[in-house]
Structure 1
Amino acid sequence: MPENDRLDGCLDEINLDFVEREATPRLLMKLSIQLHLSGLSLSNTVSFLEIFGVDRVRSTVHNWVHKADLQPESGRSPNHVAVDETVIQLDDEHYWLYAAVDPDSNDLLHTSLEPTRNNMIADQFFAELREKHEIDEAIILIDGAHSLHRACRKHGLDFRYERHGNRNSVERVFREVKRRTTCFSSCFSNAEAETADEWLRSFAFAWNQLI
């Protein structure tokens, strides 16, 4: 699919029903949301709006992104699912980002930001993943994390230990998330965990549209 078709489709899926009396043209709002989620900082997104004579502050764009409530579509039936966990920093605190990726398409299937990692959280992540997608026949690709192995067994999922190969897809996602949070720390600076979790789901939506 041509990239401009994918972008058009992405813009169509951004719902602005939350808008009541916003003076900014809706197309520019959608473009701003998409550009920020695709890699543009809040400051540069504001500068983009200024080209069209629209004067907005970073917090306004930030609020558009969160109020749009974007997240990856459900109902996928992947043949393989790469699952992993990594540390994400919110100010001075560390959280664990759980992510599931379809390595055949590199699409993000599900994310969850948690204050720690343990068997119960891993179990809950797979329960949510199974609710969103048809993965009972898929092969789950995981590393040596005991909690992920245990959760797969509990849910009766076929899993395989793999450190490289198809698991590189989830590592690629983690690298991009960490690049974004390093370059654009305003995303997670002074942010509540719930806000960061919402941003990550919105990021997953944009990632799936543009990869």
Structure 2
Amino acid sequence: MLADLLSESYAADLEESWENERTATPVRAFAVRLHETGCSLRETTTILAELGVERSHGAVWNWVHRLADNGCDSPTAKPSRVAVDETAVKIDGEWSWLYAAIDLETKLILDVALFGRHGTDPAAAFLHQLKEKHDLSEATFLVDQFGYRTALSRLGLSGQVNYTERNLIEKWFHTLTMRIDRFHNSWVGSRSSVCKWLEQFMHYYNRQRPHQALDGKAPIEEVQN
């Protein structure tokens, strides 16, 4: 059976996320990973059907969101250099701003957050959220505009304007955009559903996606070494 073939390749701690489900957990984990890595819901259900598991688009969608609700946060990190930036995203026809921060050494996405506008105040709010989750006592932030310098100063954090080394965060935004554009020009749904999707994508990027600069390892493996 498909469940038996996949049983050795999923994290056992996912079991609690899917209690009382009739589909075996390894199959659900496999379907979620297919969707994370670029398959549409239709493509995912087609692959499952080819493997003998008939499930609806709605079932797969529910699995994705249930895992996002119960997924692990990024591990606490103590980065030395952090790139932070924001990009505009459209949700149901309205623009929002997605902030993200990445550890330049481990390539770990430290956090993401959505705001209705951009500027010093949202940047400070995002950095405060980041400071609550990670040890930033020795971190230097690489930014691309002086507005961030004001936000960093408010929180007692160190930063410098850098247009070269910080391009890793821009590459991550590009990866994210490619994943979104695979299906839609913009998100369709509520802000909360977008936040859940972003959490799931961050979980996939940090824990499952191999990174060329890390010799094929996921960022979480670099953090735990």
Give TM-score, length-normalised by structure 2. Answer: 0.82
**Which residue of 1 is the match for residue 48 of structure 2?**
49
**Structure 1 range deviating more: 62-71 or 109-118:** 62-71
Q: Which runs of 5+ in 2 are unaligned?
A: 1-7, 212-225
The answer for unaligned runs of 5 or more in structure 1 is 1-6
The structure 1 segments of at least 4 consecutive aligned residues displaced by more than 4 Å after TM superposition are none
1:104 aligns with: 105
- 1:30 shift after superposition: 0.7
3-state secondary structure, aligned to 2:132: helix
Partner of 1:193: 191
Aligned sequence identity (%): 29
Q: Does the CA contact (< 8 Å) of 2:101 and 2:109 recur in 1?
A: yes
Distance 1:145-1:42 versus aligned 2 partners, 3 A rule: farther
Residue identity in the other structure for 2:160: R
1:50 shift after superposition: 0.9
Question: How far has the Cα of 1:137 moved from its partner?
Answer: 1.0
1:3 paired residue number:
none
Residues 1-211 of structure 1: matches in 2 within 5 Å?
A: 8=9, 11-12=10-11, 15-68=14-67, 69=69, 70-144=71-145, 146=147, 148-165=148-165, 167-185=166-184, 188-189=187-188, 191-209=189-207, 210=209, 211=211
Distance 1:169 1:133, change over 3 A: same
Distance in 2, Cα, partners of 1:13 & 1:159: 40
TM-score where L is the length of structure 1: 0.87
Structure ranking higher on relative contact order (CA contacts 8 Å, 6+ apart): 1
- Between stretches 171-180 and 50-59, larger displacement belongs to 50-59
RMSD of Structure 2 on Structure 1 (CA): 2.0
Question: What is the identity, as a one-letter code, of the residue corresponding to 1:98?
Answer: Y
In the alignment, residue 56 of structure 2 is paired with which amino acid?
V
Letter in 2 for 1:200: L
Alpha-carbon separation, structure 2, partners of 1:136 and 1:43: 46
Q: Is the 8 A contact 1:72 1:109 kept in 2?
A: no
**Is contact 2:45–2:54 with CA below 8 Å preserved after alignment?**
yes
CA distance in 1, matches of 2:65, 2:38: 16
